[in-house]
Structure 1
């Protein structure tokens, strides 16, 4: 069998893989990007039909190419996928689609890796995992599978018409859960939304999108989540041109809010008595950002319109003041439970001792302790902004820099004059 040799092999051709290809090319580092599906496939088929980006087009992009929609538009998922295909073509990225990586292991007695794929074997000095965080949908083992209700993950939701008849319970009040629940309610379904701890930033405030405020306030550069907030989700939406998520408003429009889903016994779901507390904490998060924004405006003498109505919340709906403690799925007519409960990582193909006890890779800004092995595209890889498209681009630049630095050391020749001499 023919073995193909490459300097750097990148696994995955989503936004992280495309960004890595651009920065590796700038360093003159030979590489290939392997993708088991199509470029940016998760944007096309791993999301619901109406999904749009959660950041405006001017912000949530790579520096070298704008979206056709431009400005404050929230780009549809298919346009996002098209964008990365255009970007890959623009930089002439050496991407090979339809190639699945099955195993990566270290070479014995010499640097580099053996990469087994559906298209044969590769040998690479460096390997970059750009597979992203959305790998294995997580459905908690709460409702027994024999319960007469369909259970799906938000990754498998497409549109209201694709669900069986009946009411719907959506578990998870982050961006995905809120948008799906709202869409189903607008389609005429009876919807219950299980609300856990969350941050709830304003979509816009004083004429600027919240991504702008996070930028000028330095919050994108946070190196790590605050203690106790690592798993707190963000309730924000770009749907219908972008709007601030307001759980009270959603309830007044027909949704029934409940607390965190805890357990299920004999077809009855039990909820934690934390609904009001979770909503109040989300309110506090919003108000704190408004306070910081106001202070920034005053300190910098900006002429931005005041917006006192941003602090006014609707009255508490009945489902908050008289929160349900339990719900009989059959009596409520629940036909589907949608778990918007996130994803787990899957590095089953990585036969290298680099994962911690939770299955997460050990790394420092994407550089693992195993020489030649790197990661890009993970949340909080270097900072809070790592989860956004533009943040991935900057993280990939750092990782490519580190690969380039290591290549410089590899060319060390003491007799010829030191670093890089062998390449001169």
Structure 2
């Protein structure tokens, strides 16, 4: 069978791959999108059942289509988000092939392009875009040895409280996933411990505006990419139950026992850092800083937005913060499940090209790799703070598509044949 020839190959049909396919289609660039599962599979099976988008529907979407069910100020449930991307791709007949995994990409020798090995055979592509996003390999720290009777799972494998083993539950991680999962389990009547680490804690809304609006008018979406290796910021915010501000004191009031960062485990006894109160205080400072900036913006621009003094009032620190647990005997506390909401690691082992640094991190400028013809899309802080959001991915995809169009124009360039000297000499005003 002859090797299939492709101009541009996009790997991954999540929000990044669908967005790029739209821009490439509009630009007339021939391309194929390969997806090992289904369109937006992470939204379908890599999230818990009750998850809703963390951004309101008016903001966190592609600009050319609204969510069909959830209203502008609502937070779309995960299944609607997955269907949204599938429907969006159908609108422009995106050339997506599902059920095809890319296993290896290498540069061709002596000619332009890349050899692409897939589960459906070989391909050759002039350009390859890694649009697989940041959620590639779940990270579970090697802290707690496997033992009978203790269930350990990553947040990506958590779906609902009914799947958990009997007993109390320890959730490790205080970002959006950790706090939402811990609260859901506590509301189901289970005993829950939540291990809290450093985080940003924005208000869900303030003075009648969602925090995404405040980030926009305050220019925070335009923040430059962070230093390599420090791009990820744990953000405690939630779109659950119509959207709510995360306050760890409120979680404690719902029966959740807060503990510090999980540091070590010896003979079934976990040890926690002594920084719980300081960590929560730093999150409060982050929260209050945004409120201060918002108030200053309102005053400076003469906006008629309602004041919200209650937003600055916190519950008293609970006992678990004033006198935190420093260790927890898992068996004595009858902990049956540990859920690791500890994020993901990148896995580009299939992409064997010169586009990574010594630590294995992608090298790029706004998604354009130094290895010509290689691109990255869907990574946090690819071009700025908004790169992790649906609308930000769409903007990043437009930039990459424009770069591809420009590069193709260079390759298509053919110099004009020199004009006949006699014709040139005969031009009006020409003297010899």
TM-score by length of 1: 0.96
Alignment root-mean-square deviation, CA: 1.3
Contact 2:207 2:307 in 1 (8 A): yes
Q: In the TM superposition, what is the alpha-carbon distance from 1:416 to its structure 2 partner?
A: 5.0
Match runs of 1:46-57 below 5 Å: 46-57=46-57
Match runs of 1:8-407 below 5 Å: 8-68=8-68, 69-146=70-147, 148-225=149-226, 230-407=231-408
Q: Which has the larger radius of gyration?
A: 2
Q: In the TM superposition, what is the alpha-carbon distance from 1:26 to its structure 2 partner?
A: 1.5
Distance in structure 2 (CA, Å) of the matches to 1:147 and 1:328: 15
Is 1:6 paired with 2:20? no
Distance in structure 2 (CA, Å) of the matches to 1:360 and 1:232: 17
Q: What's the CA shift string for 1:297-324, capped at 9, x where partnerless?
A: 1111110000011000001100001100
Q: What's the CA shift string for 1:278-306, capped at 9, x where partnerless?
A: 10000000000000000111111110000
Structure 1 runs not aligned, ≥5 long: 418-424
Distance in structure 2 (CA, Å) of the matches to 1:148 and 1:49: 25
Distance in structure 2 (CA, Å) of the matches to 1:368 and 1:293: 37
Q: What's the CA shift string for 1:173-215, capped at 9, x where partnerless?
A: 0000000000000000000000000000000000000000001
Q: What's the CA shift string for 1:7-50, capped at 9, x where partnerless?
A: 10100000000001011112110001000110001100000000
Closer, same or farther: CA 290–105 of 1 in aligned 2, 3 Å: same
Distance in structure 1 (CA, Å) of the matches to 2:233 and 2:122: 41
Distance in structure 1 (CA, Å) of the matches to 2:327 and 2:376: 43
Closer, same or farther: CA 148–262 of 1 in aligned 2, 3 Å: farther
Structure 2 runs not aligned, ≥5 long: 419-432
Contact 1:105 1:352 in 2 (8 A): yes
Contact 1:2 1:120 in 2 (8 A): no
Closer, same or farther: CA 124–309 of 1 in aligned 2, 3 Å: same
Q: In the TM superposition, what is the alpha-carbon distance from 1:113 to its structure 2 partner?
A: 0.7
Contact 1:137 1:343 in 2 (8 A): yes
Q: How many equivalent residue pairs?
A: 417
Q: In the TM superposition, what is the alpha-carbon distance from 1:343 to its structure 2 partner?
A: 0.1
Q: In the TM superposition, what is the alpha-carbon distance from 1:74 to its structure 2 partner?
A: 0.4
Distance in structure 2 (CA, Å) of the matches to 1:388 and 1:4: 34
Distance in structure 2 (CA, Å) of the matches to 1:228 and 1:310: 34
Distance in structure 1 (CA, Å) of the matches to 2:260 and 2:226: 24
Distance in structure 1 (CA, Å) of the matches to 2:265 and 2:178: 20
Distance in structure 2 (CA, Å) of the matches to 1:210 and 1:281: 18
Distance in structure 2 (CA, Å) of the matches to 1:210 and 1:351: 40
